[in-house]
């Protein structure tokens, strides 16, 4: 820390920017670090960076644009399109490592928390990786190669934190039989409080994910929700937009954590992606939902299937959503207290190293 005035911990949080899921689940840990009086640096880009700028405000926080691949999707053939971008993804890991070395030296970073950013670590700095993707959902012919890739990427980190309740096993096969000796479960991560006051919205649709699927889902939900009775709320996942009201339907582009928790707690029917961060929010509130996997994302298909089998959740496809064929919500939702275990893990990392 020579050359830096403050002896306080200086924590770098780096997070993947494919949609807003990694930003929403890392936000409570970032806020916790700020509440401890630590200096905080956040590295990401795109929508994730815009979202965190609107949600976190403190003199002790600095935001940085982190290098990373601009992964693009298509309406069809998404999996093949992602596969074609793998070389760029590998190059981005090296770019992240170079960026990390520079920011550690420039900002006096003392600890690193990386949410699925495999290149954000430093040999002289205690670094941890947050990930629920310890067994990638790939064809069996390349499963061994994928496992070797995860082991190699996780090796430079002091610990791997799995954002999951070990008793409930929310992540299913993605972590069930991982091969990382330094991995530990740190419980559910969610910015949503189960103690919020329920709102009067009866139906809530949550739009999320990368383009073009975010926009396709928003359009399909708009068409469906304008046809159903009762007050409805569509959460569009567009930071910086304006609230719109049309008849019984309200569109929120970017609600606060309290507003979102209030809306979900009061809803009789929730429709959302089966992205893992959305599932963590449901578990934090103990709410069931109709789960719609993003096309071309086998992880979300696996998670939807797991939640259907383990908790009885209803699911439907994007095509069924676009045709308005959405089932009623079913099942017994899991319920786990959020954040406490992860906050304790962060305290242990920072205060004991």
243 and 103 inside one domain: no
- pLDDT given at position 47: 85
153 and 251 inside one domain: no
- What's the domain range around 22? 10-189+338-351
153 and 283 inside one domain: no
Tell me, yes or no, whether 157 lies in a domain: yes
CATH of the domain at 37: 3.40.50.2000
241 and 273 inside one domain: yes
37 and 126 inside one domain: yes
278 and 183 inside one domain: no
36 and 180 inside one domain: yes
Q: Degrees (nearest 5) of the Cα angle 275, 281, 286?
A: 120
- pLDDT given at position 14: 98
88 and 180 inside one domain: yes
Tell me, yes or no, whether 122 lies in a domain: yes
234 and 176 inside one domain: no
Tell me, yes or no, whether 197 lies in a domain: no
Tell me, yes or no, whether 331 lies in a domain: no
Count how many domains the chain has: 2
177 and 55 inside one domain: yes
- pLDDT given at position 217: 93
68 and 179 inside one domain: yes
Ranges of the chain whose pLDDT falls below 70? 1-6, 69-89
Tell me, yes or no, whether 287 lies in a domain: yes
- Name the token pair of 139: 């064809």
- pLDDT given at position 144: 87
- pLDDT given at position 218: 93
Question: What pTM does this model have?
Answer: 0.91
176 and 227 inside one domain: no
């Amino acid at each position: 820390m020579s050359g830096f005035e403050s002896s306080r911990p200086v924590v770098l949080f780096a997070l993947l920017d494919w949609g807003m899921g990694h930003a929403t689940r890392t936000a409570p840990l970032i806020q916790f670090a700020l509440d401890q009086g630590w200096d905080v640096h956040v590295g990401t880009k795109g929508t994730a960076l815009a979202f965190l700028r609107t949600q976190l405000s403190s003199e002790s926080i600095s935001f940085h644009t982190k290098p990373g691949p601009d992964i693009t999707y298509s309406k069809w053939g998404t999996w093949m399109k992602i596969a074609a971008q793998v070389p760029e993804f590998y190059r981005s890991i090296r770019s992240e490592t170079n960026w990390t070395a520079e920011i550690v030296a420039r900002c006096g970073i003392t600890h690193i928390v990386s949410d699925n950013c495999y290149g954000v670590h430093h040999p002289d700095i205690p670094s941890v990786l947050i990930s629920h993707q310890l067994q990638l959902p790939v064809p069996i012919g390349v499963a061994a190669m994928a496992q070797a890739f995860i082991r190699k990427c996780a090796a430079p980190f002091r610990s791997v934190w799995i954002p999951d309740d070990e008793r409930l096993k929310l992540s299913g096969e993605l972590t069930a039989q991982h091969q990382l000796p330094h991995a530990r479960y740190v419980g559910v991560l969610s910015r949503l409080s189960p103690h919020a006051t329920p709102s009067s919205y009866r139906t809530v649709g949550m739009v999320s994910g990368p383009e073009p699927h975010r926009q396709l889902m928003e359009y399909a939900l708009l068409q469906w929700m304008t046809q159903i009775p009762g007050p409805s709320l569509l959460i569009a996942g567009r930071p910086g937009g304006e609230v719109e009201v049309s008849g019984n339907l309200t569109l929120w582009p970017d609600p606060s954590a309290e507003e979102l928790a209030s809306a979900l707690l009061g809803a009789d029917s929730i429709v959302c992606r089966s992205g893992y961060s959305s599932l963590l929010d449901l578990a934090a509130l103990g709410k069931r939902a109709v789960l719609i996997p993003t096309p071309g994302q086998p992880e979300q298909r696996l998670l939807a299937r797991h939640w259907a089998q383990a908790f009885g959740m209803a699911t439907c496809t994007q095509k069924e959503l676009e045709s308005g064929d959405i089932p009623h919500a079913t099942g017994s939702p899991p319920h786990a207290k959020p954040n406490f275990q992860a906050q304790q893990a962060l305290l242990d990392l920072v205060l004991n190293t």
